[in-house]
Structure 1
């Protein structure tokens, strides 16, 4: 009798590639926030203008998500990821020449006066305008990461493993946030801030050397044996068909459960990424040379705890819970764990680190579970499209929130009370997830497969 061949594990190799792409993606986007104290001095922009730079990125990111979501469903994960990472790597490198504009000014046309410095209404730093353009390019191409990543997980993992797989690759957002504070400031101080952007772009291009030869559908990879292929396709077979147009997807209220949840909660994560270094500097007197250890600790906590969050719903499903009950239980727990962030402004430095780490890990566990609900309800051929639309909604929410944050902090700065400004913002963050959970539940009482007409 021939022994049964053990299943190969090539799907985990694919997940590792997606993890590293996500790590590079988040290093690229966090560089600007880490360099903000240095750029505040060299460029001379205001909090409002910095908020507009982040808002421009998020607006472009929203467009990129929408376009790449549809493109990945039509052209495939491999090609979608290749175009996305080539584009964002080149865009990152293009930040470097902005140093040549430091010290120069531009006069804006009168209809753009709202972008200007309040003291000189129509004159702005030239480097500020250049950063707006560079961040738009970066945002457009970084929009391909999550539609491609979630589509890859959907193709390579059965439903019961997807929440864990999503939380594992999504941990790349945290690992990127860990490495960025440890690497970017030394690079900026010893080589100059442009090199931080250049080296991040080179890292993305090096990743492509591994992606091209190693990725394809499970059926076409010789490393995948019959046992692993059977495991990947162990869910009930879906009806074949083409990718549906986004209008067809939006006809279902369950799609809006994902979209509204992204709109309400993604801005919180963007706020953490963009403003935590400034929070420690303005309220604790800790510049990036002294606060990097706090930031690294926050993202280490987030990395460890968020993976456990992705594991939770899979554990409950394996114990006989329905998919809906398991996912919703997890989401309610994660939403509740963000609430203590409301206390962060009055906490000590390391208490603030722990509260930020708890809230950030709860967000990432929430996010991984929320992403998984898309493949719980929608067929594989529609997953990237909906991920793109929902990601666009989250980016638009983040875009609006970034402008609000910058404007609010400038108002409190004039009053000499930055701590009160941040207290207001953390209070908003504390309640966003519970509100999102209620709306999500009303729109999708159960996470069950839908039939999508072509």
Structure 2
């Protein structure tokens, strides 16, 4: 677009573009969950095979987190974002045209591969367009898209499937992404000197300098610190609850609770709304406590501990019969998951100052492994159509995450890293 944007107008437009992109991103991750029951019946897929299909997305998504971030560093977002949007949308569309297990797994892997750079790209955009004191709010706005978007999309996706079938659901979803890629390219522009915050060039230069030094020693350090493993394990456990709702949840309602597919879409939206409010409450409450002078143990840890406790209430769904009670406990659990989503703040609070990016990559990688492992475990545990053991497993993960933050993270304080350059020189001298 040739028209120049004022800084304020540009920020709102950019944030709107990211928000819609996040909604489409999660639509293409989770439409498989809406289609799962009809697709598995049509193609005679077992629960274990469905677990493989559900987890295939995360195989490539997790592995590509760090490489995806590197790609974002060197390719302009205006070019990269439409490209990956079209690529994962085409893979989504092709899902509606294939029938074999291997082809479906391949499509899910392709979606994970091309979606991997999207969140690093979102972070880069926010960094380029928003000042430091504005970024947390901007991140909260676009992150909420994954919950509020799915809350309203679940009934819509169920309605699309009722008219066009599960194959039509994938085809329509893919076409929406391709159209949005064109809109993105037309309306997004790289920040100009007028719109870019003054501190960005200095920050980017400092980050790039730190990335060139002693990668392997820093990576080893990032995986040998107790506090860091505390937040890694916590992220994995939070991801376990999240991935249940993104994959098996509609199947649980349809096949185990006997709710019709169209009604499932409406019931499934309620926990996503609960998670959305949990995310907002977590951010505002934590920031309010910080402004009131409370320590990080209170301001930052409290929402996570309370959230993980609530997340564990998912097991209560095993002991109630009415659909309303089941949805209540599942919504309470997902609300807790949203409340604990502030956990990303611990990366900047605990990681050494010059390793925030690396630790963030490790943190997201371990969290992504939950999307690989948990769907498979649920498929194994629910082979006979009984989800009770699966829900107990998810509740157990919440308990493990709670213990991780209490006993492994401990006091919230920044880890002091050694001088890696000096260590390397000393090691070289010793040899």
Per the normalisation by structure 2, the TM-score is: 0.82
Aligned CA distance change for structure 1 residues 419 and 257 (closer, same or farther; 3 Å): closer
Q: For 1:117-137, what per-residue CA distance to the aligned partner results, in whole angstroms no more than 9, with x for missing partners?
A: xxxxxxxxxx22221111111
Contact 1:67 / 1:388 at 8 angstroms: preserved in 2?
no
Counterpart pick for 2:237 among 264, 274, 279 = 264
Counterpart pick for 1:141 among 104, 114, 135 = 114
Contact 2:231 / 2:409 at 8 angstroms: preserved in 1?
no
Quote the residue 2:323 is aligned against: 349
Q: For 1:412-441, what per-residue CA distance to the aligned partner results, in whole angstroms no more than 9, with x for missing partners?
A: 44xxxx153344234324424313423662
Contact 2:352 / 2:415 at 8 angstroms: preserved in 1?
no
Quote the residue 1:274 is aligned against: 247
Aligned CA distance change for structure 1 residues 28 and 404 (closer, same or farther; 3 Å): same
Contact 1:25 / 1:142 at 8 angstroms: preserved in 2?
yes
| Correspondences of 1:328-367 after superposition (within 5 Å) | 328-347=301-320, 348-367=322-341
Aligned CA distance change for structure 1 residues 80 and 384 (closer, same or farther; 3 Å): farther
Report the Cα offset of residue 277 of structure 1. Answer: 1.1
Matched, 1:397 2:366: no
Matched, 1:421 2:355: no
- Partner of 2:64: helix, strand, or coil? helix
Distance across 1 between alignment mates of 2:382 and 2:129: 44
Report the Cα offset of residue 80 of structure 1. Answer: 4.6
Matched, 1:20 2:10: no
Report the Cα offset of residue 292 of structure 1. Answer: 1.9
Quote the residue 2:54 is aligned against: 54
Quote the residue 1:183 is aligned against: 156
Distance across 2 between alignment mates of 1:355 and 1:248: 45
Q: For 1:337-365, what per-residue CA distance to the aligned partner results, in whole angstroms no more than 9, with x for missing partners?
A: 21322212223312222222222132233
Bigger Cα displacement from structure 2, 82-91 vs 420-429:
420-429
Distance across 1 between alignment mates of 2:351 and 2:188: 24
- Partner of 2:97: helix, strand, or coil? helix
Contact 1:73 / 1:385 at 8 angstroms: preserved in 2?
no
Quote the residue 1:151 is aligned against: 124
Distance across 2 between alignment mates of 1:16 and 1:363: 25
Contact 2:271 / 2:327 at 8 angstroms: preserved in 1?
yes
Contact 1:377 / 1:449 at 8 angstroms: preserved in 2?
no
Report the Cα offset of residue 240 of structure 1. Answer: 5.8
Q: Provide the aligned length of Structure 1 versus Structure 2.
A: 408
Bigger Cα displacement from structure 2, 178-187 vs 398-407:
178-187
Report the Cα offset of residue 63 of structure 1. Answer: 1.7
- Partner of 1:37: helix, strand, or coil? helix
Distance across 2 between alignment mates of 1:303 and 1:309: 10
Q: Which has the higher contact order (CA 8 A, sep 6+)?
A: 1
| Correspondences of 1:401-412 after superposition (within 5 Å) | 401-410=374-383, 412=384
Report the Cα offset of residue 163 of structure 1. Answer: 3.8
Q: For 1:60-95, what per-residue CA distance to the aligned partner results, in whole angstroms no more than 9, with x for missing partners?
A: 211222321232244465555344323211211221
CA RMSD of aligned residues (A): 3.3
Quote the residue 1:445 is aligned against: 412
Distance across 1 between alignment mates of 2:349 and 2:17: 23
Distance across 2 between alignment mates of 1:132 and 1:35: 15
Contact 2:91 / 2:107 at 8 angstroms: preserved in 1?
yes
Quote the residue 1:67 is aligned against: 67
Quote the residue 2:97 is aligned against: 97
| Correspondences of 1:358-397 after superposition (within 5 Å) | 358-367=332-341, 369-376=342-349, 386-397=359-370
Aligned CA distance change for structure 1 residues 249 and 165 (closer, same or farther; 3 Å): farther
Distance across 2 between alignment mates of 1:440 and 1:75: 38
Matched, 1:174 2:143: no
Quote the residue 2:176 is aligned against: 203
Aligned CA distance change for structure 1 residues 378 and 201 (closer, same or farther; 3 Å): farther
Distance across 1 between alignment mates of 2:300 and 2:420: 26
Distance across 1 between alignment mates of 2:7 and 2:91: 41
Per the normalisation by structure 1, the TM-score is: 0.78
Report the Cα offset of residue 323 of structure 1. Answer: 5.4
Distance across 1 between alignment mates of 2:138 and 2:257: 37
Contact 1:267 / 1:395 at 8 angstroms: preserved in 2?
no
Report the Cα offset of residue 51 of structure 1. Answer: 0.5
Quote the residue 2:260 is aligned against: 287
Contact 1:159 / 1:376 at 8 angstroms: preserved in 2?
no
Quote the residue 1:433 is aligned against: 401
Distance across 2 between alignment mates of 1:157 and 1:362: 29
Quote the residue 1:110 is aligned against: none
Report the Cα offset of residue 20 of structure 1. Answer: 1.2
Report the Cα offset of residue 297 of structure 1. Answer: 1.9
Contact 2:57 / 2:108 at 8 angstroms: preserved in 1?
yes
Contact 1:61 / 1:139 at 8 angstroms: preserved in 2?
yes
